[in-house]
Amino acid sequence: MKRILLTSALLATLLFGGDFENGVNAFEIGDNKKAISFFKKASNKGDAKAQYFLGFIYFEGLGVEKNMKLAKEYLFKACKNGYADGCKMYSTFPQ
């Protein structure tokens, strides 16, 4: 059982950790274009946190033109994938 958990954790890191973490690092130094690129890669792999970050970036217009349609789409994905903050922010959009 322990081996399965370790294997699952390693697999999750390989699938999500690199792109998401690289996106956070790029975002923190103000390289939003690079951050968006990494977040999109992670999002395409189903990473709900990356989907939330993309929704937030498009909602606020951080380094990109504000785009409420994209913000809503990414926040919906984050919510659908179980990210509570994504659900909270998504719920602020008219349905």
Predicted pLDDT of residue 1: 42
What digits encode the pLDDT tens for the residues 35-83?
A: 999 999 999 999 999 999 999 999 999 989 999 999 999 999 999 999 9
**70 three-state secondary structure:** helix
Q: Which of 47, 50, 10 is nearest to 26 (CA)?
A: 50
The mean per-residue pLDDT over the stretch 14-29 comes to: 82
